[in-house]
Amino acid sequence: MGRAVCQKGVVSLSKSYLFPTYTKFPLTLVKGSKSTLWDDEGKSYLDFMTGLAVCNLGHVPERVKMRVQEQLEQVWHVSNLFHIPAQEELAEKLVTVSCADLVFFCNSGAEANEAAIKCARRYHQRVLGNERYEIITFEQSFHGRTLATLTATGQEKVKDGYLPLPEGFVHARFNDIESVRSSITQQTAAVMLELVQGESGVHLAEPQFVSELAALCKEKDILLIVDEVQTGIGRTGSMFAYEHYGIEPDILTLAKGLASGLPIGAMMGKEKLRDAFSAGSHASTFGGSPVPTAAGLATIETLLDDGLLEQASRAGAYAQDKLRNDLQAYPVIRTVRGLGLLIGIEFTIPVAPVIQQLHLNGLLVLPGGTHVIRFMPSLYVTHAEIDQAVGILGHVLRELDGSANGR
């Protein structure tokens, strides 16, 4: 087997030692600062994908960098058999800014959701003494790539070739309370919900549906799990998306933006769940290690000290208005929707060729399903940067329209 070859920034996967699990964009990004990335040929890009909604503070935020550097000089790993100060501090900070009372740290969103599923089942079976195990999730949802979380995901494409899937998951229709009601059985332990379904196209939960769902879960003694992996840490203009809906979930899950690019996940829950995750019931070797938790603590402190929740709310409203006003003349644009700085632009055509042209013109975005482009910039994004991004999109749409008219 030959060595991986890198030519003009593109690694040939046929000669790579990596499994070809990703369809990679033909770019090699080597440097980042705030809202800008540079490739290995020196070209700059305005970043409106932020590493899949991970770099909420932009690239290489100074306060996080300094905290990580300090931690790197002290200790990197000791395991969860010892007390880790940064882990305790981050847990306290997360509890302070949320409705939760307890935190379990892991390494990713999928692991956080896996922990939520396990905690919900064990709460019913070991604390309440019943045999409930089923989790109701929703069509179009996305919860991860482990066997349990891909089964929880309401999209068939992620399940191809992985049979048999674990039992205990039921998919209801999103924003349809009667579908949820009819899915409940004597075995139902929890409902898991994304308040904004980002990966499938930025679909927002309706406030009345969420209110009715929370009441139904309380009535039936069913745990409500809110997956905040993409929506948490300021992305929607509040610390967590559930705050927009006036509810308090029993469990919420975090990852992506929590440590500004370092791998971390968190499952957070109410006090009543404490005995469900007793000693030895769940674990993670690297979860909550000193370096990522130090980064997470600096991330939350920066978010609060710099007023980024209000900034994200204002910038998101400006971006949606700008997109609607400037792009309304293009028939390929069906609608613009979003919450804070998680914005979806729905097209009447597949967006893959549009994204390719946007990248060539210096704007990095990614799809949400086949017909939606997601805008997910840094929470520091300025109006000028939003204007620039919308201008690039308009330019590409004019080029595409001209090409189509020329045929």
Q: Which of 42, 56, 5 is nearest to 254 (CA)?
A: 56
Q: List, for residues 187-241, the tens digit of each pLDDT value.
A: 999 999 999 999 999 999 999 999 999 999 999 999 999 999 999 999 999 999 9
Backbone angles phi, psi at 350, to 5 degrees: -60, 140
CA distance 268 to 30: 34
The half-sphere exposure of 295 on its side-chain side, counting CA atoms within 13 A, is 26
> For residue 47, what are the β-bridge partners?
364
Per-residue confidence band for 279, with pLDDT thresholds at 50, 70 and 90:
very high
Three-state SS at 290? helix
Q: List, for residues 327-340, the tens digit of each pLDDT value.
A: 999 999 999 999 99
Q: Which CATH architecture has domain 75-305?
A: 3-Layer(aba) Sandwich (3.40)
6-60+307-406: CATH topology is Aspartate Aminotransferase, domain 1 (3.90.1150)
The predicted pLDDT at position 15 comes to 80
Which segments of 228-341 are extended strands (E)?
251-254, 265-269, 333-339
Longest Cα–Cα distance of the chain, Å, equals: 69
Classify burial at 271, counting beta carbons within 10 Å of its beta carbon; exposed 0-12, middle 13-18, buried 19 or more.
Answer: exposed
- Res 1 pLDDT > 50: no
- Res 13 pLDDT > 80: no
Q: List, for residues 128-152, the tens digit of each pLDDT value.
A: 999 999 999 999 999 999 999 999 9
* 166 upstream amide cis, omega within 30 of 0: no
Are 316 and 376 spatial neighbours (Cβ–Cβ below 8 Å)?
no
Across the chain, mean pLDDT equals 95
Whole-model pTM: value is: 0.95
- Delimit the domains of the chain by residue range: 6-60+307-406, 75-305
